[in-house]
């Protein structure tokens, strides 16, 4: 985790009209009005390196971000350092809403890879609702989706065994990467450490390692050199108890 957060690139090199993500069929299309408004709203791009603190815990941030590329995660820590990873952030995700609404972030955001983020000024948030109601609705949609992801994680951490939990989180990674269009075949880059996986699952590092060993032994997944591969989806679903639910079409700011 690098203390120095990020470097902000000077201007806008990727106009929304040529947004590489919008082309994915996964995202709903913008009409001309929406596109014009977002284009006008966008303040720039933020490029961060791996391991950067995008938002610090207990601090305010003047920005809202949409992820264009890369992986990150949201987390909270206790006073003695115990950490819980709350959710992962992938391309298409919208982050920073809590800052805009509560004046203070009570969770941190950190990058797992180099990331490219779209920057919007948070003080214009209310304008979004006034001038482009359909985008306001989209923001609510995205917030409700975050809530659903958290529901899943909470169920998992609270009620699934370590083995089920781990199978489920791999399904989560797979499905979310599919959504973001970064799965190649059955493989995807999974740029996390076992410590981070442990902090996600609510387990210790040691037990995470052992559980991972057993899960690998089932032959349903592989995960080496930062690349994970789903070998037997059905097997993995059977171990987890259920699949991770995704959406067909989603908004994207």
Rounded to a whole number of angstroms, the distance between the first and last alpha carbons of the chain is 28
| Region binding a copy of itself by CB under 8 A among candidate stretches 49-57, 80-88, 183-191, 227-235 | 80-88
Least separation, in Å, of the C-beta of 125 and DNA? Answer: 35
Do 215 and 167 form a contact (C-beta atoms < 8 A)? yes
Residues 101 and 123: their CA atoms lie apart, in Å, by 10
Contact map string, positions 109 to 148, toward DNA, x by CB under 7 A: ----------------------------------------
| Residue 81 in contact with DNA, rule: CB under 7 A | no
Residues 210 and 212: their CA atoms lie apart, in Å, by 5
CA 36, 92, 53: angle at the middle one, nearest 5?
110
Tell which positions 197-216 bind a copy of itself, by CB under 8 A: 199, 201-202
Which residue number, 145 or 216, has a Cβ lying nearer to a copy of itself?
145
Nearest to 3 by CA among 39, 51, 43: 51
Strands 44-48 and 7-8: antiparallel
| Region binding a copy of itself by CB under 8 A among candidate stretches 10-18, 75-83, 183-191, 214-222 | 75-83
| Contact residue for DNA among 13, 17, 193, 227 (CB under 7 A) | 193
Tell which positions 206-225 bind DNA, by CB under 7 A: 206-213, 225
Question: Which helix (H) or strand (E) is 89 found in, with range?
Answer: strand 83-89
φ and ψ of 229, to 5 deg: -135, 130
Other C-beta atoms within 10 Å of 59: how many? 12
The residues binding DNA (CB under 7 A) are: 161-163, 193-195, 202-213, 225
The residues binding a copy of itself (CB under 8 A) are: 74, 76, 78-80, 82-84, 86, 97-98, 101-102, 106-107, 125-126, 129-130, 133-134, 136-137, 139-141, 143-148, 150-155, 157-160, 199, 201-202, 241-242, 245, 247
């Amino acid at each position: 985790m690098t203390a120095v957060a990020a470097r902000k690139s000077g201007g806008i090199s990727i106009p929304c009209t040529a947004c590489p993500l919008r082309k994915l069929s996964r995202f709903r299309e913008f009409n001309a009005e929406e596109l014009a408004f977002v284009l006008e709203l966008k303040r720039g791009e933020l490029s961060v390196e791996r391991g950067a603190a995008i938002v610090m815990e207990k601090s305010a941030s003047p920005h809202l971000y949409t992820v264009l590329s890369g992986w990150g995660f949201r987390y909270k820590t206790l006073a003695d350092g115990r950490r819980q990873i709350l959710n992962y952030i992938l391309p298409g995700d919208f982050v920073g809403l809590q800052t805009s609404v509560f004046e203070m972030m009570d969770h941190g955001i950190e990058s797992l890879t180099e990331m490219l983020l779209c920057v919007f000024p948070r003080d214009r948030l209310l304008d979004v609702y006034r001038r482009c109601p359909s985008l306001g609705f989209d923001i609510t949609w995205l917030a409700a989706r975050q809530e659903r992801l958290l529901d899943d994680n909470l169920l998992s951490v609270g009620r699934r065994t370590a083995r089920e939990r781990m199978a489920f989180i791999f399904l989560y990674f797979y499905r979310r990467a599919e959504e973001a269009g970064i799965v190649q075949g059955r493989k995807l880059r999974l740029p996390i450490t076992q410590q981070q996986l442990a902090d996600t699952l609510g387990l210790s590092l040691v037990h995470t390692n052992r559980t991972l060993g057993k899960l690998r032994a089932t032959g349903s997944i592989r995960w080496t050199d930062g690349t994970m591969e789903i070998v037997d989806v059905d097997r993995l679903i059977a171990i987890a108890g259920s699949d991770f639910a995704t959406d067909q079409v989603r908004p994207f700011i």
